[in-house]
Structure 1
């Protein structure tokens, strides 16, 4: 299947429960970096995660397409859509499940962003092929931002 054709490259950002505060700021940071590199970011999250982004960016300076996570998973499974890159935000076991699902159904290059108090344990649970970007970041997004910058996935 061809990647989504809204631009030359697309990136799906998979957001789960926004229980850990750094998720929203890192998502906005990654959106900005991807856009400035010519990659169209698409956000797929649950209602709470999407609402936090809408409130943080009410004039949609950074946000473009934002959709329901289950809807985009169904589109990928039905081969109606796919992406060049996929970033899954992980701070619990549910995030690992979403990442494993994306690894199985999508042709996108998979990046997992692992953060929170238990990030070391979560890193050890990931056995599928992906690029792991991890930092013990809960309230302060800078350790995760630094880890992302070291990988520079927008240049991949």
Structure 2
């Protein structure tokens, strides 16, 4: 033993809802890649459809690591069995805003609201809790949201 304290690697939770808007999967994989390169361990929590899209998109798990059910993740955090350093909630509808508010209330993680879709500006107005908002009108083309994420560079925080 060296007597030196061991530091636990930083972790990030990506909360994915219904993958109705096409950019969600590509932006999730992009964010996972950037977080991993920064030494942050990403965990994906989504509904069955969102998780399946990611698993099928990365079958050899080059980017994707742990994937869990969204309701299970909420339960684990609520029961204080697990928590994260950062939490990225993907928002394109009211349910996404609700999940972000829930994560802000139950987790100690630094909260990021990734708001996208045709009516992203309407969803931004509904966010009345502390978080960093990253927003862009991105439906089929992920580049506007990628650019907004890159400007914030949450992996460098």
TM-score class, shorter-chain normalisation, is over 0.9
Runs of 4+, deviation exceeding 3 Å: none
- Pair 1:6–1:61, CA change in 2 (3 A): farther
SS at match of 2:134: strand
SS at match of 1:87: strand
Q: CA deviation at 1:65?
A: 0.2
Q: TM-score, normalised by structure 2?
A: 0.95
Name the counterpart of 1:126: 127
Name the counterpart of 1:102: 103
Name the counterpart of 2:3: none
Correspondence 1:34-45 to 2 at 5 A? 34-45=35-46
Q: TM-score, normalised by structure 1?
A: 0.96
Q: CA deviation at 1:32?
A: 0.1
Matched, 1:79 2:80: yes
Distance in structure 2 (CA, Å) of the matches to 1:12 and 1:148: 16
- Pair 1:116–1:27, CA change in 2 (3 A): same
Name the counterpart of 1:116: 117
SS at match of 1:133: strand
* Structure 2: runs of 5+ lacking an equivalent: 1-5
Name the counterpart of 1:65: 66
- Pair 1:79–1:32, CA change in 2 (3 A): same
- Answer whether contact 1:7 1:39 (CA < 8 A) is retained: no
* Structure 1: runs of 5+ lacking an equivalent: none
Q: CA deviation at 1:123?
A: 0.4
**Cα RMSD (Å):** 1.2
Distance in structure 1 (CA, Å) of the matches to 2:35 and 2:8: 12
Larger Rg: 2
Q: CA deviation at 1:8?
A: 1.2
